[in-house]
Amino acid sequence: MFEKLSRPRLRIEKAPAPPWQRALIPILALLITFLLTSGLILWGRANPFEAYYYFLVEPLSSRISALEVLVKATPLILTGVSVSFAFAAGYYNIGAEGQLYAGAIAAAWLGVALRGVPPALAILLMIFGGFAAGMLWALVPALLKVKLAVDEVVTTLLLNSVMAFIVSALLNGPWRDPKSGWPQSPEILLNTHFPKLVPRSRLHLGFVVAIIAALLLWFIVSRTSIGLKMRAVGLGKQAARFAGVSVSRTMLLAALVSGGIAGIAGVSEVAGIQFHLIGELSPGYGYTGIIIATLGALQAIGVAAAGLFFGLISTGAQTVSRALGVPVYLGDVTQAAMLLVTLAMLLLQRYRIRRA
C-alpha cells in the first residue's frame, strides 16, 4: 500500500520534437518574450502595443533608421557567428567579448602603423591582424581545454575581465590622447577607415564582412569534412573519437577560428564606427552573441536573422525611449528575457511529461 502511494504519478522522459515544432521555437519565444515584457511597459505607464510599434516598425520606416539597424547588427552577427562556430564543435566559448577587444587593439595599432599603405591593402591587413589577435587571445583557454581538460566556460569568461584591464591600462597609459587627455587611442589613419556602403550613413564595409562570415559558417559546417568532424564532436566526443576523429585538434581549430571571428568584430567597430579604441567600444556584443547563436540554433541563416532582429531591438529601444519615455534599458531586458525563454523552450522540446 505504502509503495503504491510513494510512486510518482508523472515522469519526465526524452522525446525529441519533430522538425516543424523546432522551427516554431524562435517565433514562440518572440511572442512569449513580448508578453512578459509588456508588464514592464505597463508599469512604466505606456501602451505595450504602441511601444512595440516603435520597437519593431518605426525603425524601418525611414532610410536613416533602417540603415542604423544594419549598423548595429554588424558586430552582433560577427559575434553570433563566432560563438556558433565554437558551439558547433562542443567548445563553449564565452570569451567573445575579450576576443573582440583583442581585435580592436590590433586594429587601433595597425590603423596608425600602416601609413602610406594603399587603402585596400591596409584594410585587408587590419582584418587579418584582428583575426590573428582574436585567435591569439583564444589560444590559452583552448590549450587548457584540450591538454588539461580545464573547463573553457570558466577560462574564457575570466579572460574577458583580464582583457578589460589590459584595455584600461593602454588607454590610461601609453595610448591616452595627449591633446584632450581622454582615455582613447590616437585616431587611425584615413587609409584604414572602412568605406561607407551608403553615402551619408554609418553603414560600412563591416556589414559585408559579417554576411560573408555567416556564409562561410554555413559552408564550412554543412559542406566540408572539417564541418562534419565539428558536428560529430559537438554531438558526442566519445563517439567521434571512436570514429577516428581527433577531438582535441577539432576543438582547438574551432576555438581559434571562433576567437578570430570575434576579433574581426573589434576591427569593424574601430575601423568603421569609432576610428579609435575606447573602453566602451562594446556594450556587451560578445555576450549578446551567445544569445544570437542560441536563438539562431547555431545555423548561419538563423544567426544572421537573429543578429538583424537584435539590431532592430537595439535601434527600437532608443526610438521608444524618445517617443514614450520608456527607459532605454528595456532593450537589454528584452534580449535577456528572450534568451531565457528560448533556452526553456529548447529544453522542453527535448522532453515530455508522461504519466508513470
Residue 353's pLDDT is what?
66
Lowest mean pLDDT among 187-191, 272-276, 291-295: 291-295
Q: Cα separation of 140 and 135, whole Å?
A: 9
Residue 331: pLDDT above 90? Answer: no
Q: Return the C-alpha cell found at 19.
A: 522538425
| 148 is a domain residue | yes
Q: 17-21, 112-116, 352-356: which has the highest mean pLDDT?
A: 112-116
pLDDT at 155: 96
Residue 351: per-residue pLDDT: 66
Instruction: For the chain, list the strands marked E by DSSP.
Output: 10-14, 351-355
* 14 has pLDDT over 70: no
Any domain includes 13? no
Percent of the chain scoring above 70 in pLDDT: 91
Q: Is residue 332 part of a domain?
A: no
How many of the other CB atoms lie within 10 Å of CB of 182? 11
Residue 268 lies in a domain: yes
- Please state, rounded to an integer, the average pLDDT across all residues of the chain: 89
The answer to whether residue 318 is domain-embedded is: no
pLDDT range class, residue 321, cuts 50, 70, 90: confident
279 touches 269 (CB < 8 A): no
CA distances from 202 to 66, 199, 217, 243, 245 (A): 11, 8, 26, 49, 45
Quick check: is 280 in a domain?
A: yes
Q: Could you tell me the residue range of the domain that residue 277 belongs to?
A: 77-286
Look at the chain and report how many structural domains it folds into.
Answer: 1
334 belongs to a structural domain = no
Per-residue model confidence (pLDDT) at position 258: 97
- The per-residue DSSP string of 259-301 comes to HHHHHHHHHHHIIIIISS-BTTS-SSHHHHHHHHHHHTTT-HH
**Where does the pLDDT of residue 8 fall: very low under 50, low under 70, confident under 90, or very high at 90 and above?**
low
> Which is nearest to 57 in space by CA: 339, 312, 356, 331?
312
Q: Note the pTM of the prediction, 2 decimals.
A: 0.90
For 93-136, how does the pLDDT look when each residue is reduced to its tens digit (9 = 90+)? 999 999 999 999 999 999 999 999 999 999 999 999 999 999 99
Tens of pLDDT, residue by residue over 152-162, are 999 999 999 99
Q: Is residue 33 part of a domain?
A: no
